[in-house]
Structure formats: structure tokens, C-alpha cells
A = this chain, B = another copy of it.
Amino acid sequence: MAERLNQIANHATASKEAGIPHPLDPLSVFELTTVVSIVRDTFKGHSISFNTVTLHEPDKSAFKFWKETGSKIPDRKAYFIVLDDSLSTGFFEGVVNITTKSIEECNQTSGACPIITTDDLRTIEETIRNDPKVIKQCELSGVPKSEMHKVYCDPWTIGYDERFGTSKRLQQALMYYRSDEDDSQYSHPLDFCPIVDSTKKEVVAIDIPSVRRPVSKHKHANFNLKDVGPLREVKPIAVTQPQGVNFSMDGRYIEWQNFKFHIGFNYREGLVLSDIFYNDKGTPRSIFYRLSLAEMVVPYGEPSFPHQRKHAFDLGEYGAGNMTNPLSLGCDCKGVIHYLDFDFVERDGNVATVKNAVCIHEEDDGVLFKHSDFRDDFQTTIVTRGIRLVISHIFTAANYEYMVYYIFHMDGTIQLEIKLTGILNTYICDEDDDLKGYGTQVYPKVNAHNHQHLFCLRINPEIDGPGNSFAVVDGAQSTAPVGSADNFYGNAFYAARTVPKTTGEAQYGYDGPRCRTYDMFNPNRIHPYSKKPATYKLVSREVPMLLPKPGSLVWKRAGFARNAIHVTPYVDRQFYPAGNHVPQTSGEPSRGLPEWIGDGKAGVENTDIVVWHTFGITHFPAPEDFPIMPAEPINLLLRPRNFFLKNPALDVPASFNVTTSDVKANKAGSHAMKDSTSALAFGKTSGEAAMVGSCCSSNKTSAAEPVSLGCGCSCNSKKNGCATACKCSPGQCCCA
């Protein structure tokens, strides 16, 4: 990781400035350095390399005890994985207690492969470029030996290959050619696939197709500024907050508009939001204990060998944190931004930092609520705008970018938006090939295979306290026939709600026409009006079924994706639904969630539950996605229902409020939230239209005084004498 920005903080400064870390805080530079030192001591005499060093989160009971009593703060601990050159296979994993500066656990693990790190990725290209068998295949493809520096590969997890199992740590090298180092290689795939031993750095096999296709001679499909010709003119938009932002940070806790929660981040899940509370008129009410993307899988739909191996678990096999981008102001994030860094350990034990890994900022959220009364032509009105809080990061998984946004709204809704961009995975084809519907030629000789992007959202709810249940809710027609006493006109419908009792029952698909939603609720907290339990409702509308069939390799390895919903009782350390160590698992047995569900008898009612929601998209590529893909959005919402006494955002200052009595008394109305920067696009150039919407709320006394634009009030009543001119009286709004 030599190129990563390397900042080893001054230890004393870091510990003093930071104070005592919060139990959920990511490990600091100081702590990582301490762990590395302890692990090195433990493995003295061994030649080791660091694979993972990350926060070992406290058990929930310990965290809760400390949070409630202020005593017995959990020790700071780290989980680590190291590779040991003396092991031909397997690795060591364990836990370091940073507080006591001791190793608590250390085990040798066999028959499993640890997460793939960027250090593993880096060496592969060099290995394949120098391998004589690869060089030969390149020659056959039309790439001469002298041009091996123009050969590149995206090193992918091998997935699972029955020839190798977990006997060695392997990657498959998806091969590409660039004529120039600045080319985008994806228009020039090569047709063969070397398999590389990551430990020994040697090619162990090459999968060669029966039909050979030499590398394309077409121009590279590039997208850098120098390649795209004349740029279109785009006038910018500026987003500012002259009075500052509405969020404040206390360590890793953020407070914003009654929300308060901890922003964690780790090598694997990326963002982790914990201890999410809402301050409801002075009473802190819990919502979620922990929220994160726990796993994902991207299965490709081309059945021929070796493409079935393409089904990367980008979180479990690479890590969203490991692949996270350093973000830049005005480019990735616009407006008024606060960044958080991500500290990590490199292969050699060096502690490094990804600067600006997490972006925190606000955005305008449009109209929050509005109502106008038709009785006086909408003069009686209230319109209140919202602001939303966005916490985000971007990670690059070889070709693809995933942009992850957790968005908080003033009405208590929590939204997760994922936008896909970057570059399609591509394979070679001949221009007249029959792709059999499993892929699309997006550029001459470029086949982009069908695939799905399936994410697993891990939700540990704590809706208004412990003791939660789950319900699946569908819009359902009354069973009573049209014309019957109970349904005479045939319009009766209701919310059909099922509350599963066990993990066996708590497995659900998605139903679009019935607008299926999923409730997490507290059966012990009943709303005084509705008599329904305090709930956060998961509204998720991008919920593909897993297209690889039951019994398929992907189905076995990605058990979490078999259903849109699984629910399990909370158990510490059940974080990763495809298993702790995902690379090269066979899926027999299916690790993670299927193991935890087991015989399906565990109870999930009125207890501490974890909801695992699989969502995403099925992607049938098109040329518009190439050579780089415009961002495609995937969204879901977590909405409070029967949680708040009423709309929790009534106290947000309205942009404009005029009551009926105001109208009758010819009063100007209130602008609790003033907007002094909005303006007309075409100013005063078009006669009458120039004054449209303009108003004055200051003490102007003369009609001759120019009226300032953008005061944000509406004047649509003749009562104020408005016509084509402007009339101003002290304190009054007036417009043309």
C-alpha cells in the first residue's frame, strides 16, 4: 500500500485529542499501531503478513451495561488475521485486547481462505505478465511478447472452483489489453483466464475456451476528457450554507434534527450506523442498534465455463472499507462537507489512512409538507421545506463503483440509496456471435454478461426499546365477494399482516402488486391513538428474486439471497450472512445465515431480532452502460409508522404560512424559514413576468422602490391590490 497516504499520528497527540475511544469507534492509528506491535511480538520468528486488523465490537450486553450505567466500559479489542509464510494453507486469526495489551484469542484456521486484500490484487498483474504460459496465450490472442506490459488483468476472487477448493489462496485473472496506458481496457478482453496462487504468486492453471477469439482490433472505448472530443457547456450549480450546517459531531456520534447515532466504518461493511436514537420531545427513543450492508453478491448469468465463477461477494471477499475511495470536495461531494478518515493496516504492518473516506453533508429535500385551502383560492396555505442528511462513501470493486448513501429525513425516515457506476464487466465475443440471451454486445467484440447486484442489509432493530417482532404486510382484498353484505360494492381491502414466530417461518419473498412491506415493531409499545405497535416499516421496491436456481453454486454460497427476508434472533458476532471467510467456500455447507437458521425453530417474536433484507437489481446491459455507466439508483426506505404521536416535523420552520384569519385581515403571513438566494432564471427581462413571485417583507414605503426578488412569499390575491405594478406597505408582501 505504498501509494496510500501514510500518516502515523503522533501517538500522544492522538490519544489526548481523541480522548478515550467510544466502544464502537473504529480503531485509531494509535490503536492499530499497538495491535500490530502485539501481533508481531506474538508471531516473533514467523514471517507474517497482515490481512485484517479491525475493531472487535463489544458484545451487546457489555455495551448496553456500560451505556446504561456508565461503568465497566468494554475493553478495546481488535480482530486480526495474519498469513504466515510457514503455512501452506490457512491463516491465523484472533483477538487482541488493546486495553490490557494482550492476545485474548489466537487460532490457526484451516480449510478456509481469508478476505482478499488490495495487496493480493497488486501482485497478480506482474505474475501473469511474466508467466510463459500466459505469454503464449497472449501471442495466440494477437498480443506479441514485447507488449506484455500492455496486458492487464482484473484479479477476481475465483469464487469456487471444484478443482482447487480451499487448498490454495487463488484469484482468477480476467484479462484485458490496452494499447496505451490511459486506455480503458474493458473494450479489449482476452479470451482466456489464468488462475493465480496469491501466496506463491504463480499461475496454477489457465482456462482456455474451445473456440478462440483474438483480441479486438477496434479502437479502445475510452472516456477520459482527452478522448471524448468537445465538451458540452454546463453552467454550474452552487450549494452553500452560509450559516453553517445543522449537524454536529461529538467524536463519531452525529446529532442532526433529533437523530443521534454513531458512525462506524470497517474494512468489510464500510459504513456501520449504530445506536440510532430519536430525541422525541426530550425523550430519547431507540430505533436501530445497528444498520449496515453485511454482504452482497453479483452473480453473472452466462452458464458456460468458466463464467459461473463470476459471482463476487464484494463485501465478504474484498471488503467495502478495503476498497473505499478517498473522496474529494466538489467532485464526489458537493456543498458543505465534513469528512471522516479510515485508518487501516497494510500487509507489512504499516498503518495507513484513506483520507476523506466518509462524506457527511446536507442537501435540500424539497417540499416536506404543504397544504392550501381551496376555499380562498389557496391563499390559506402552509409550505414547509425539508433538509436531509447524507452519510456516504464510494467503493471500487475492480470495474464497478458502488456509491452508498444513508439519508436521514426530517420526518424520521431513514433511506438507503445505492448508485451503481463504473464499468461493466466484459468478455470477448465475435461480432456475429449468438450470445444466447446471456449477454449483450455493447461495443464491437465486447460481450457484457447479464448479472444481478444483490445486497444484504443487516438491520438490528430496537424499536422503542428491546423486544421487537417482525411482520410481513400485504395489501389484500377482502375475501367477501362483491355484492355480499360485507363487501357490497367490492371495494373492501385491508393490510394483511403475518407475524412469524420462528426463523423457519420468517423467510419471505417480495410481492409487487400487493405492495408488500416489512415491519419491525415493538409489541410492547402501543400507540395511544391507533392501538398499533411502534414500528419502522421497510419499504423496498427493488427486490429481485435470486435468478441462479435452487441447488446452483450461487444459491449454495449465497444463502442470504434465497429470500428477500430472513429474520434471526440476535446473537453476538453473527455479522456476515455468507460466512466469516467467504473466498473459495463451496456452499456445502452453506455458511452464515443458513447455519444460524438451522432447523428453523428459534423464536423471533418479541425478542432481540436481526432482519436480513436482500435487495438490488437485475442488470441486462445495454450500450448506454458503456464505456462507463451513468449512475443507476437503487433505493429503500425505513419509515416510522405508529412510532410518533403525530407528524414529528411540525416544528420545522415553514417557508410560508398564511392562515385564513391572516388572509381576511390582509396580513402578510409568516416566513419562519427565509430564502434569500432563490431567484428568477430570466430576471427582469420579460415584462410582466419579471415581477412574478417577487415580494418584499421589509419596511419599504414606496411603490417606486424596487422589490427584491426571492423573499420567498407568494402573493396571489387581488386583495393586496397587486396588478402589474408592485405595491409595498411597511411589513407587507406584495407582488405583481
Contacts and interface: CB of A to CB of B under 8 A. Distances in A.
Interface in A668-689: 670, 672-682, 687-689
Contact of A334 (B385, B531, B653, B672): B385
A52 to B, nearest CB: 18
A37 to B, nearest CB: 23
Interface stretch (A59-67, A140-148, A236-244, A576-584): A236-244
Contact of A644 (B246, B332, B623, B631): B623
Nearest to A736: B355
A321 interface: no
B541 A330 contact: no
Contact of A403 (B118, B370, B641, B670): B370
A384 to B, nearest CB: 9
A687 B341 CA distance: 14
Nearest to A531: B441
Interface residues of A, number: 235
Interface stretch (A128-136, A202-210, A287-295, A301-309): A301-309
B544 A542 contact: no
A687 B9 CA distance: 12
Interface in A263-310: 299-303, 305, 308
A468 to B, nearest CB: 17
A121 B375 CA distance: 8
Contacts of A712: 328-331
Contacts of A480: 303
Nearest to A257: B232
Nearest to A680: B337
Contact of A545 (B2, B513, B680): B513
A646 B626 contact: yes
A422 interface: yes
A218 to B, nearest CB: 10
Given A328-B693, A379-B3, A515-B618, A488 B303 contact: yes
Interface stretch (A163-171, A547-555, A589-597): A547-555
B513 A509 contact: yes
A375 B224 CA distance: 17
Contacts of A527: 623
Which of A229, A490, A543 has its CB near the most chain B CB atoms (within 10 A)?
A490
A529 B429 CA distance: 11
A502 B244 CA distance: 59
A371 B628 contact: yes
B630 A245 contact: no
A396 interface: yes
Contacts of A622: 530, 532, 535, 641-642
A443 interface: yes
A7 B396 contact: no
A652 B232 contact: yes
A704 interface: no
A529 B441 contact: yes
Copies of this chain held together in the complex: 2
A588 interface: no
A151 interface: no
Nearest to A616: B515
Contacts of A237: 239-241, 335, 362-364, 387
Nearest to A223: B650
Contacts of A572: none
A629 B421 contact: no
A252 interface: no
Contacts of A233: 246
Contacts of A36: none
Which of A334, A387, A488, A723 has its CB near the most chain B CB atoms (within 10 A)?
A334
A547 B672 CA distance: 42
A506 B355 CA distance: 54
A630 B411 contact: yes
B491 A300 contact: yes
A654 to B, nearest CB: 6
Interface string A380-412: 001101110000001010110101000001111
A511 interface: yes
Contacts of A305: 488
A648 interface: yes
Interface stretch (A68-76, A99-107, A656-664): A656-664
Contacts of A599: none
A475 B616 CA distance: 13
Contacts of A331: 383, 385, 655-656, 675, 712-714
Given A329-B709, A492-B301, A678-B334, A225 B364 contact: no
B661 A646 contact: no
Contacts of A246: 233-235
Interface string A606-644: 000000000001101011111111110000000111111
Given A223-B382, A361-B681, A370-B401, A299 B491 contact: yes
Nearest to A438: B494
A529 B442 contact: yes
B245 A235 contact: yes
A234 B654 CA distance: 10
A61 to B, nearest CB: 32
A411 B329 CA distance: 23
Nearest to A397: B374
B225 A366 contact: no
Interface in A510-545: 510-516, 527, 529-532, 535, 541-545
Given A234-B653, A531-B441, A545-B513, A367 B419 contact: yes
A512 to B, nearest CB: 3
A515 B677 contact: no
B547 A493 contact: yes
Contact of A491 (B181, B224, B552, B630): B552
A478 interface: yes
A602 interface: no
A38 interface: no
Given A232-B653, A355-B693, A450-B493, 17 more contacts: A3-B718, A182-B659, A223-B647, A231-B672, A235-B244, A239-B239, A305-B488, A308-B491, A330-B678, A437-B495, A438-B493, A442-B530, A489-B548, A490-B552, A491-B549, A624-B644, A626-B646
14 contacts: A237-B239, A240-B679, A302-B492, A329-B680, A331-B383, A331-B714, A334-B678, A369-B628, A441-B530, A512-B516, A513-B543, A515-B618, A532-B622, A535-B622
